[in-house]
Structure 1
Amino acid sequence: MQINHNIAALNTQNQLAQNNKATQGNLEKLSSGLRINKAGDDAAGLAISEKMRGQIRGLEMAEKNAQDAISMTQTAEGALNESHAILQRMNELAVQSANDSNTQQERDALQNEIDQLTEELSRISEETQFNGKNLINGDLSGEGELTFHIGANEGQNISVGIDDMSAEALGVSGLTELESAQEDIEIDGESFTEETVYKNGDDIVAVEVDDGGNTAVYNINDVTAQSNGDTPETFTIKAKEGAEALEAKEDGTYEVGINISTQETADSAIETIQTAIDNVSAQRSEIGAVQNRLDHTINNLSTSAENLTAAESRIRDVDMASEMMEFTKNNILSQAAQSMLAQAQQRPQGVLQLLQ
């Protein structure tokens, strides 16, 4: 028998330390609910789990982005819904004014309402905003299209554009608050009054024709003008029916306002208003299609995030039942090791009996 080194006690103490360490690890996993609490628990699993976590959080944010996009399009669609209502009312007024049972005073009253509705249509287009961005005044058309990031990775975007839905763009608003200068001109032997109008930096040429009070439509092609030595410019000008004014821009088709002050102009204005209604309907249809697409996008993002979360959980989360069994086993082993360590420490005392 030896007393300098109690090998049995040393072995028992080593086993006790291992059991205590295992028990501590079990407690850490059970208390956190995670199988991987540090890289040492599973280095490869930790790397995969962190990559999945980044993907999941990206998908969740992309879902929020899509929801914001829906909110923006809903705001625009709500404004266009009101624009539709205004145009429908304008159509009613035009149909009413086209009936010769109305007096001129009544037609003037109807025209006043048309003018007010036109101003409201313009106000809606200028003041409809989402987070400070104008939605239906043309800012979001062409190169101004909005880009929404709807994925967790680079380049997963969709673009949304909304055309100009102002009264001017829809062709139901004429020219107002203009500065002009007049002079006489002659075309093919006929005398007219030329009015050069300036608005927003554009040169606008209006020709007033005495046609017995009837509205006339003129197509003026390849018109050349030169002033103060400037380079001549060519314009193509087209006036719509129901017009009281037209705006001339280089190489384009020009929109005019609504005049229902006579039976003829009111009758012609109906077609112009119907065209505007069709344009708003087409834009609302596009917005509705985008909203439906975004709804499906959100559903897909939610499903993808759910599946990735389940996969990440299988890698990183602890199986509570299995871990509890391990904890119970290690706890019993620790208690047994403590008891055996006490027994091992008692063995050297037997040497004293030999010395007596």
Structure 2
Amino acid sequence: MRINYNVSAMLSNNALSTNDDLLSKSLERLSSGLKINHAKDNPAGLAMSKRMNAQIEGLSVANQNASDGVSIIEIADGAMTEISEMLQRINELSVKAANGTMTDDDRATIQDEVAQLKEEITRISDTTEFNGQKLLNGEFDLKGYTDKQEIKVNYCSPDVPVKEYTIQSMKFKKDAEGNFEVDGDIKFGDGFKEVEPLKTDMKDNLLTITGTNGFEMRLDVSEAKEGDSYDGMKIDATGIGAMRLQIGANEGQVLEVNIPAVTLQNMGIEDIDVNTQEGAKDAISRVDGAIKYVSSVRGRLGAFQNRLESSINSLDVTSENMTAAYSRIMDVDMAEEMTSYTTYQILAQAGTSMLAQANERPSQVLQLLQ
């Protein structure tokens, strides 16, 4: 028996210290509910879980962004619903004014109502907004530019390929009412060849160029100079300008929503006048085109809304699965950990008891000295 070095006590103390450390870690996991509380617990798992957590938080915000996009489309669609109703009323008035039983005074009265409806359509187009951003004035439409100051790109359909186009020859003249019309034929150059055959239409100083595969481009020539030749004019279709909705947690996961301008000029009813029977007949045709235009814009926005709602559903599912994966890495199994805690607690109690016994052993030497 030895009294200078109590090896039994040292062994018991080491075992007690180890069990006490395990008990402390188990208590930390049970109190926090996390399997990984420090980087040393699982370095690789911690790195993976933090990336997953960033994705989960990003998906939550992306879901909110998509919901905001749905709200924007609903606001725009609600405004265009009212515009459609007013176009229907203008159509009714045009049909009435085209009737031979109407006098000039009757048509003048009808024209007054038509003028008021047009003003209200313009007001709605200028004031419909979301979060201070106007929606129907073309602010979020695809942009294009020309190298001629007098000619502006009014509209490019989403099917217009992003590149540079050339008009070899183009000239305008004014009609009896002071509106521009094409003087001669327009000759198209580079860029347009791929979408031939091409058709052109001039209405309310808007030159509409249509081609195959949904190609449509409108040029505003209201500031053109009569008799000037716009030979070799370059048109740059940028493909940008749409509202970019961040609907994913990573860079580039966006949906671009383009909202064309819903204006009198774009609808082709800026200059309708039902003061005469001929004007009323022309108005019927123009309003029909305006109704088709608004319906096409609403249809496109409806398709965007369907995509956004599908994105929201997809984000919800992805977030659920990502959270489940994150939980499997980070969350502790409480039942399993409680079992381990009970084991460590018993071992700690046993270690404490045995350390007390080991500390008593040297005192037994006194019995030999009696």
Structure 1 unmatched runs, 5+: 174-256
Structure 2 CA distance for aligned equivalents of residues 30 and 101 of structure 1: 90
Distance 2:273 2:112 in 1: 10
The aligned counterpart of 2:101 is 101
User: Which amino acid is the alignment partner of residue 14 of structure 1?
Assistant: N
The residue number in structure 2 matching 1:319 is 333
2:89 alignment counterpart: 89
Amino acid at match of 1:160: V
Hey, what's the Cα distance between the residues in 2 that align with 1:63 and 1:334? 50
**TM-score under structure 2 length normalisation:** 0.71
Match of 1:164 in 2: 261
Whole-Å separation in 2 of the counterparts to 1:162 and 1:269: 25
Number of aligned residue pairs: 273
Partners of 2:366 and 2:100 in 1: how far apart? 135
User: CA–CA distance in 2 between the matches of 1:350 and 1:142?
Assistant: 96
State the shift of 1:72 in Å. 1.4
Report the equivalent of 1:276. Answer: 290
Aligned: 1:153 with 2:250? yes
Aligned residue among 326, 336, 356 for 1:342 = 356
Cα deviation, 1:218-267, whole Å, max 9, x if unaligned, reads xxxxxxxxxxxxxxxxxxxxxxxxxxxxxxxxxxxxxxx12112333222
Other-structure match for 2:206: none
Looking at structure 1, the residues matched to 261 and 44 of structure 2 have their Cα atoms a distance apart, in angstroms, of 54
Q: How far apart in 2 are the matches of 1:105 and 1:26? A: 93
> Is contact 1:122–1:168 with CA below 8 Å preserved after alignment?
no
Question: Secondary structure in 1 aligned to 2:269?
Answer: coil
Aligned equivalents of 1:303, 1:33: Cα separation in 2: 24
Q: CA deviation at 1:336?
A: 1.1
More divergent stretch after superposition (261-270 vs 126-135): 261-270
Aligned to 1:70: 70
CA deviation profile, 1:192-225 (whole Å, cap 9, x unmatched): xxxxxxxxxxxxxxxxxxxxxxxxxxxxxxxxxx
RMSD (Å), alpha carbons: 1.3
State the alpha-carbon separation in 1 of the partners of residues 325 and 261 from structure 2: 47
Deviation by residue 1:168-208 (Cα, 9 ceiling, x = unmatched): 221222xxxxxxxxxxxxxxxxxxxxxxxxxxxxxxxxxxx
How far apart are the structure 1 equivalents of 2:56 and 2:256? 23
Partner of residue 131, structure 2: 131
CA contact (8 A) 1:83 1:121 kept: yes
For 2:36 and 2:287, locate their aligned partners in 1 and report how far apart those are by CA, in whole Å: 67
**One-letter amino acid matched to 2:250:** N
Partners of 2:22 and 2:47 in 1: CA distance:
24
Measure the CA separation in 2 of the matches of 1:267 and 1:48: 70
Match of 1:197 in 2: none
CA distance in 1, matches of 2:254, 2:367: 88
Residue in 2 aligned with 1:190?
A: none
2:308 to 286, 294, 297: 294
CA distance in 2, matches of 1:328, 1:89: 81
Answer with 1 or 2: which has the greater Rg: 1
The question of whether the paired residues in 2 share the 8 Å contact of 1:63 and 1:301 is answered with: yes
1:197-212 correspondence runs (5 A): none
Q: Measure the CA separation in 1 of the matches of 2:128 and 2:281.
A: 31
- The alpha-carbon deviation at position 107 of structure 1 amounts to 2.2
Which position in structure 2 is the counterpart of 1:20?
20
3-state DSSP of counterpart to 1:147: strand
1:80 maps to what in 2? 80
The answer on whether the counterparts of 1:66 and 1:294 sit within 8 Å (CA) in structure 2 is: yes
Contact 2:29 2:35 in 1 (8 A): yes
AA matched with 1:268: D
Distance in 1, Cα, partners of 2:6 & 2:141: 88
Amino acid at match of 1:27: L
Q: Do 1:91 and 1:274's aligned partners in 2 also have CA atoms closer than 8 Å?
A: yes
Q: Deviations over 1:80-126 (max 9, x none)?
A: 11111110111111122222333433322211110000000011111
Question: Using the alignment, how far apart are the partners of 2:119 and 2:128 within structure 1?
Answer: 14
In 1, the alpha carbon distance for the partners of 2:113 and 2:134 equals 26
- Is 2:272–2:282's contact at 8 Å kept on the other side of the alignment? no
| AA matched with 2:280 | A
In 1, Cα distance between the equivalents of 2:268 and 2:45?
64
Per-residue Cα deviation, 1:15-48 (whole angstroms, up to 9, x for no partner): 1111111111011101111100011111111111
Unaligned runs of 5+ in 2: 144-240
Q: Tell me how far apart the structure 2 counterparts of residues 339 and 301 of structure 1 sit (CA, whole Å).
A: 56
Matches of 2:77 and 2:343, distance apart in 1 = 65
